[in-house]
């Protein structure tokens, strides 16, 4: 099933693999969690957006003929199957480089993935343009990195910890990230259903 799904997608979805390789090499020489937080975590949402976009035709949001079922839950399982690969990459990175702090880091990054994926899908369904969606995510990451968030008020999903932090320091924001991310998914789901039914 996974092989069939990969064949349906545009080759550009494989771009994250090259970034993962760069991140792996970088972590060998510089053990800094910012590499994981700024490169690997957003790329998982990048994959999710491209996977959804490839299932949608000509930005008209009509389902492709390859959609096996009009029930959205089945199509979400297809996307989830593809996304497992990226979670495995994240898990592998953490086990290799940060096995002593695996649980707290996995909770932290999984909740961040929910934020980026939920927000990215919501943007995609609203503006109907995958490139613009990804540009907004990149602008957000760069803005957070350079402290533009002090000028422009927006939600802060990043921790920017260069070393592992105990669960007590990350759990509050992790829960908030998870809630914000699931909120994005829920809004995406209902807007997608409305588009499929031709409401707007």
pTM (two decimals): 0.80
pLDDT at 74: 56
pLDDT at 67: 41
pLDDT at 69: 47
Side-chain half-sphere of 98: how many Cα atoms within 13 Å? 24
Mean pLDDT score, 98-115: 90
Res. 9 pLDDT band, cuts 50 70 90 = low
Segment among 1-15, 25-39, 41-55 with least mean pLDDT: 1-15
State the residue range of the domain holding 91.
Answer: 2-196
Beta bridge mates, 120: none
* Six-digit token string for 6: 């990969």
Average pLDDT value for the chain? 77
**Higher pLDDT residue, 152 or 31?**
31
Report CA-CA distances (Å) from 187 to 47, 93, 118, 122, 183: 19, 31, 9, 7, 6
Closest CA to 45 of 100, 118, 98, 97: 118
User: Which residues are CB-neighbours of 166 under 8 A, at least 6 positions away?
Assistant: 104
Total domain count, the chain: 1
Mean pLDDT score, 24-48: 81
**Higher pLDDT residue, 200 or 178?**
178
User: Which residues are CB-neighbours of 20 under 8 A, at least 6 positions away?
Assistant: 40, 43, 89
pLDDT at 42: 83
Whole-angstrom distance, CA of residue 116 vs CA of residue 104: 19
């Amino acid at each position: 099933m996974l092989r069939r799904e990969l064949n349906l997608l545009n080759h550009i979805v494989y771009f994250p693999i090259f970034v993962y390789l760069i991140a792996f090499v970088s972590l060998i020489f510089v053990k800094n969690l910012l590499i994981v937080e700024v490169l690997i975590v957003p790329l998982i949402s990048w994959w999710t957006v491209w996977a959804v976009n490839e299932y949608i035709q000509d930005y008209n949001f009509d389902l492709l003929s390859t959609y096996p079922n009009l029930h959205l839950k089945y199509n979400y399982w297809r996307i989830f199957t593809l996304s497992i690969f990226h979670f495995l990459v994240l898990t592998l990175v953490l086990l290799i480089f940060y096995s002593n702090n695996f649980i707290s880091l996995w909770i932290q990054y999984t909740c961040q993935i929910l934020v980026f994926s939920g927000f990215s899908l919501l943007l995609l369904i609203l503006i109907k343009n995958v490139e613009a969606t990804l540009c907004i995510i990149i602008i957000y990451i760069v803005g957070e990195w350079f402290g533009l968030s002090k000028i422009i008020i927006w939600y802060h999903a990043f921790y920017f910890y260069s070393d592992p932090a105990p669960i007590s320091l990350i759990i509050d924001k992790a829960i908030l990230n998870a809630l914000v991310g699931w909120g994005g998914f829920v809004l995406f789901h209902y807007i997608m259903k409305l588009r499929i039914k031709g409401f707007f």
